[in-house]
Chains A and B, each alone.
Chain A
Amino acid sequence: MLVVLFAVSVLTFLIFNVIPNGDPAVRMAGKSPTESQVEAIRAEWGFDDSLAVQYVETMKNVFGGSAISYFTQLNVRDQIVDGIPRTLSLAIGAAFLWMLGGVALGMLGASRAGRLSDRLITLLALTGVSLPVFWLGALMSYYLGFKAGWFPNGGYVPLTEDPLDWAYHLVLPCTTLAILFVGFYSRVLRSNLLDTMGEDYVRTARAKGLPEREVMRRHVLRNSLIPIVTLWGLDFGAVVAGGAILIEVVFDLQGVGQYAADSVRTLDVPPVLAVTMFGAFFIVVLNTVVDIVYAALDPRIRLT
């Protein structure tokens, strides 16, 4: 895990150092600076040190919470801490929606496999997966938010301030993000369900005289959901770690993703590094959580 984080941070740091026009001193000095001004900034921020020293210094600051943005001069940690509840709200709401929708559509599709309604669901799912998220977001925001006025036109209200308004602001971004995943999840669950229905132990369950509902619930659905739960954890991690950048920007949520996007635009190394670390750390942690949950759900891979 530490190796992964180290590799990710070094790569990110190097990429931002080889980008053309990336010299932060020149950019910080403002329009038409003098050579001595640039030199002064370089010395002050340590840009004249070797790359290795710069890397170590920056990482120290990132982990110590004292990293400062080159351009906004704001503390990076404060910015991220401010963004986390926004990103998490979006990710949790969307994950909840797409799981619910995926399970419902997946079960519907599997129970009518091959019939017209199954094909319609498939079509719908593929459409959802193929829609570009920024386009769908913009469309929803424009028609449902701006034109119809049913929903707020972007923005975020903290949960602690007004829970209702918080939820109200999250409806559109969460739905937009969920639509992308629902299609995918319903497809996976549908094929899992159909595979499981052919298993010998499902025949055993019927031979035991269980009512069909119990057969489906206890034997088919439960076993089909196990791989989905794994997928869910990984996708959730990816969304929190920056997968929702587009949604955050479209709906102006000011989350971690949007912060990262803004920082990349200005080639602002400390925030980019910090967000990258945060994302990588989160994904690694969630992977571990998923492994543990998986072992709890499926006794066959329980660690002995």
Chain B
Amino acid sequence: MTGEPLLSVRDLTVAFATENGSVRAADGVSLDLAAGEILALVGESGSGKSVTALSIMGLLGSRNVEVGGSVRFDGGELLGAPVTELQRVRGAEVAMIFQDPLSALNPVMRIGDQIAEQILAHEDVAEGQAADRAVALLRRVGIPRPEARARGYAHELSGGMRQRSMIAMALSCKPRVLIADEPTTALDVTVQAQILDLIRELRDETGAAVLFVTHDLAVVAELADRVAVMDAGRIVEQATVEQLFDSPGHPRTRALLEAVPRLDGPLGGGLATPPGEPLLELEHLEVRFRSGGGVLGRGGTEVRAVDDVTLALAPGEALGLVGESGCGKTTLARAALRLIDPSSGSIRFAGRDITSAGRRELASLRGELQIVFQDPKGSLNPRKRVREIVGLPLRMGGTAAGAIDARVLELLAAVRLAPELAARWPHELSGGQAQRVGIARALAREPRLLVLDEPVSALDVTVQAQVVDLLADLRRDLGIALLFVAHDLSVVRQVSDRVAVMYLGKLVELGPAEALYARPAHPYTATLLEAVPVPDPHARPRSGERPVETAGDAGVPATQPAGCVFHPRCAHATEICRAVEPPLTHYPDGRVAACHHPRNVTPDELSAATRSPDSPLGAGVDAPAAA
């Protein structure tokens, strides 16, 4: 670093006035950012990292907020500067990228207009010129058909393309500082990898300084030069990324680092394909939805959310179900519980066909089949106390009124919650506590199968780790089978015996967790694993090192291609992949993959491979061959 830093924050204090007095969200924060540097601001939710980022640009709003200290950009003070001065700096000198690109873009304004608007606000150019520049920017950030996209709207784009548009907008006036507030948190791993590459590349090209706000230390390890760790409104540690990962100083940093789920961490499962009759069997299950269409539901396209999937789950087994958003994993999980009706195929639970079971029959089974939802707070009735929430399934199940309270306390203890919490309302719980209540409720009637739909993705990493531990223990102690749906492969690994990978409604690979993570047979599985950020700054990939498949995203499930669904994104695709749907092939080590040209398969394994009877009905008969 030479001379004065570009952006310098000193003793920044942000206090929110609330009914119970003032709350300090940031307390004496000091940061320096030099040109061309990527500084990561890391912390859990509520640590004050986003508040810090927003107050640099004066975007916190003026009501009930008191901001103190100093924010100097290029020698000039921004805190307390007149609005016109702030407006000159915002967008032109310091630009921002937000977490959720769908809500951060105006839904009824064309993408190109939103970018051009910013150029016009800062530069004296003609409207046509600004529009041309918007298209050029969209092309620069890797958006295909930028002319058409500039005329389109945010909802027409995939999550990754939206975030690229947002970045194009932020870059439109060549800012010298880029503030990114959790820009990849809402994205799939594969898309996240592309966005991180893009940010790094743009930094190299423009020499802009980047303040990268995130909760994800693995992302930090991939991207940052320096790291500042925040906790309870204070910066507790600042170091270069190597120093921080090699010898973390503050206990808070160490706790964060320990909680990061790793692809090379210990496996959670242990039981390899348990014997006996399966608990849940899905046979050629299909769930189709109609999208678009005319007045009376005619026309439109049919989306195959789940497309001919055959799966079995043994009693007490933990099966992970992974894939990018829109791959059908949640639909499959809900259909298995008959929360969504399947279009065809069959579902058997404990040997009983429940595909077309009536309401009454399902109700009698509900105690044995339970689900835990993603949004822990949204799935708890806000007008009921914890005691009533956990007690309700007991009452419905006919437990004697006198015995309910004792059982509720037992359940709370099982999910490691203090008995005092029984009297709380949902809004008085933290995210982790709320999710534990959700789990306690699901356990109330001693289910044999627990479906977990992204149970930890809304939680902070340290809380995530605790909940994952809890699930592993519950499974071991109670022998419950788990169907664990998640997009985070490192989390799935910590819980599952076997892992199933879905892509565009199809089951593409299924195998024992160890084999699947170490030697993925399907190129899509390999792509997903490749994209997971590694929490080690020394193992950082160089630009352009990523495999071809990471490019592009899953797209709309409506456009299911012929042949192998993955072939448009696959680097190994050949003629057969475009024409023939690959059957599921069984390999000697337990992996099952639907691929004509599998990875990580030895010639011996290839010759010993057999066609799985679980293959989709429309699949070809060709045995896989080396690429």
Binding site for B on A (CB under 8 A): 199-201, 203-212, 214, 218-219, 222-223, 226, 297-300, 303-304
Q: Which residue of B lies closest to A298 (CB)?
A: B108
Measured between beta carbons, the chain B residues less than 8 angstroms from A297 are 108
Q: Which of A200, A208, A219 contacts B118 (CB 8 A)?
A: A208
Residues 289-311 of B at the A interface (beta carbon under 8 Å):
292
Contact A204 B98 (CB under 8 A): yes
Measured between beta carbons, the chain A residues less than 8 angstroms from B117 are 208, 210, 214, 218
Size of the chain B interface, CB-CB below 8 angstroms:
31
Name which of B84-92, B256-264, B357-365, B537-545 contacts chain A. B84-92
Q: Counting chain A CB atoms within 10 Å of each CB, which of B88, B104, B155 scores highest? A: B104
Contact B87 A201 (CB under 8 A): no
5 pairs of residues in contact across A and B, judged by CB atoms under 8 Å: A204-B106, A207-B90, A209-B88, A209-B90, A223-B106
Q: How many Å lie between the Cα of A219 and that of B87 in the bound state? A: 16
Nearest CB in chain B: distance from A290 CB, A: 16
Q: How many Å lie between the Cα of A226 and that of B108 in the bound state? A: 10
Q: How many Å lie between the Cα of A226 and that of B103 in the bound state? A: 17
Q: Which residue of B lies closest to A222 (CB)?
A: B108
B425 within 8 A of A: no
Q: Which residue of A lies closest to B152 (CB)?
A: A299
Nearest CB in chain A: distance from B457 CB, A: 20
Q: Which residue of A lies closest to B115 (CB)?
A: A208
Measured between beta carbons, the chain B residues less than 8 angstroms from A218 are 109, 117
Measured between beta carbons, the chain A residues less than 8 angstroms from B96 are 204, 207
Contact B118 A299 (CB under 8 A): no
B551 within 8 A of A: no
Measured between beta carbons, the chain B residues less than 8 angstroms from A303 are 292
Q: How many Å lie between the Cα of A211 and that of B121 in the bound state? A: 8
Contact B108 A203 (CB under 8 A): no
Q: Which of B57, B92, B106 contacts A219 (CB 8 A)?
A: B106
Contact B92 A205 (CB under 8 A): no
B153 within 8 A of A: yes
Contact B103 A199 (CB under 8 A): yes
Q: How many Å lie between the Cα of A188 and that of B621 in the bound state? A: 63
Known A299-B153, A299-B155; judge A209-B89 contact (CB<8 A). yes
Q: How many Å lie between the Cα of A205 and that of B59 in the bound state? A: 10
Nearest CB in chain B: distance from A223 CB, A: 6
Q: How many Å lie between the Cα of A299 and that of B292 in the bound state? A: 14
Q: How many Å lie between the Cα of A110 and that of B264 in the bound state? A: 54
Q: Which of B104, B155, B169 contacts A203 (CB 8 A)?
A: B104
Known A199-B103, A222-B108; judge A210-B83 contact (CB<8 A). no
Told that A208-B121, A304-B292 touch, could you supply 12 new A-B pairs with CB distance under 8 A?
A200-B98, A204-B166, A206-B90, A207-B95, A209-B90, A210-B118, A211-B121, A223-B107, A223-B108, A298-B107, A299-B107, A299-B155
Contact A209 B87 (CB under 8 A): yes
Nearest CB in chain A: distance from B306 CB, A: 23
Contact string, B147-186, partner A, CB cutoff 8 A, digits 1/0? 0000001011000000000100100000000000000000
Nearest CB in chain B: distance from A42 CB, A: 45
Q: How many Å lie between the Cα of A241 and that of B104 in the bound state? A: 42
Q: How many Å lie between the Cα of A238 and that of B442 in the bound state? A: 50
Nearest CB in chain B: distance from A285 CB, A: 16
Across the A-B interface, the 6 shortest Cβ-Cβ residue pairs: A209-B91, A209-B90, A200-B103, A208-B91, A208-B118, A207-B96
Q: Which residue of A lies closest to B93 (CB)?
A: A209
Q: How many Å lie between the Cα of A226 and that of B92 in the bound state? A: 31
Q: How many Å lie between the Cα of A212 and that of B83 in the bound state? A: 9
Nearest CB in chain B: distance from A112 CB, A: 12
Nearest CB in chain A: distance from B566 CB, A: 26
B380 within 8 A of A: no
B366 within 8 A of A: no
Contact B87 A300 (CB under 8 A): no
Contact B106 A209 (CB under 8 A): no
Q: Which of B57, B153, B155, B292 contacts A207 (CB 8 A)?
A: B57
Contact A201 B104 (CB under 8 A): yes
Q: Which residue of B lies closest to A304 (CB)?
A: B292
Q: Which of A200, A209, A212, A300 contacts B100 (CB 8 A)?
A: A200
Known A200-B103, A299-B153; judge A207-B91 contact (CB<8 A). yes
Contact B292 A210 (CB under 8 A): no
Nearest CB in chain B: distance from A193 CB, A: 15
B200 within 8 A of A: no
B321 within 8 A of A: no
Measured between beta carbons, the chain A residues less than 8 angstroms from B87 are 209-212
Q: How many Å lie between the Cα of A304 and that of B100 in the bound state? A: 25
Q: How many Å lie between the Cα of A80 and that of B117 in the bound state? A: 51
Nearest CB in chain B: distance from A207 CB, A: 4
Nearest CB in chain A: distance from B103 CB, A: 4
B105 within 8 A of A: yes
Contact B104 A200 (CB under 8 A): yes
Q: How many Å lie between the Cα of A122 and that of B87 in the bound state? A: 33
B338 within 8 A of A: no
Q: How many Å lie between the Cα of A222 and that of B117 in the bound state? A: 15
Q: How many Å lie between the Cα of A164 and that of B192 in the bound state? A: 66
Q: How many Å lie between the Cα of A200 and that of B121 in the bound state? A: 19
Measured between beta carbons, the chain B residues less than 8 angstroms from A206 are 59, 90
Contact string, B102-146, partner A, CB cutoff 8 A, digits 1/0? 011111110000000110011000000000000000000000000
Q: How many Å lie between the Cα of A195 and that of B359 in the bound state? A: 40
Measured between beta carbons, the chain B residues less than 8 angstroms from A304 are 292
Nearest CB in chain A: distance from B589 CB, A: 46
Measured between beta carbons, the chain B residues less than 8 angstroms from A204 are 96, 98, 104-106, 166, 169
Q: Which of A199, A207, A209, A222 contacts B122 (CB 8 A)?
A: A209
Nearest CB in chain B: distance from A217 CB, A: 11
Known A207-B96, A212-B83, A218-B109; judge A300-B118 contact (CB<8 A). no
Nearest CB in chain B: distance from A203 CB, A: 6
Nearest CB in chain B: distance from A14 CB, A: 29
Measured between beta carbons, the chain A residues less than 8 angstroms from B107 are 201, 223, 298-300
Measured between beta carbons, the chain B residues less than 8 angstroms from A211 are 87, 121
Contact A209 B83 (CB under 8 A): no
Nearest CB in chain B: distance from A165 CB, A: 42
Contact A203 B59 (CB under 8 A): yes
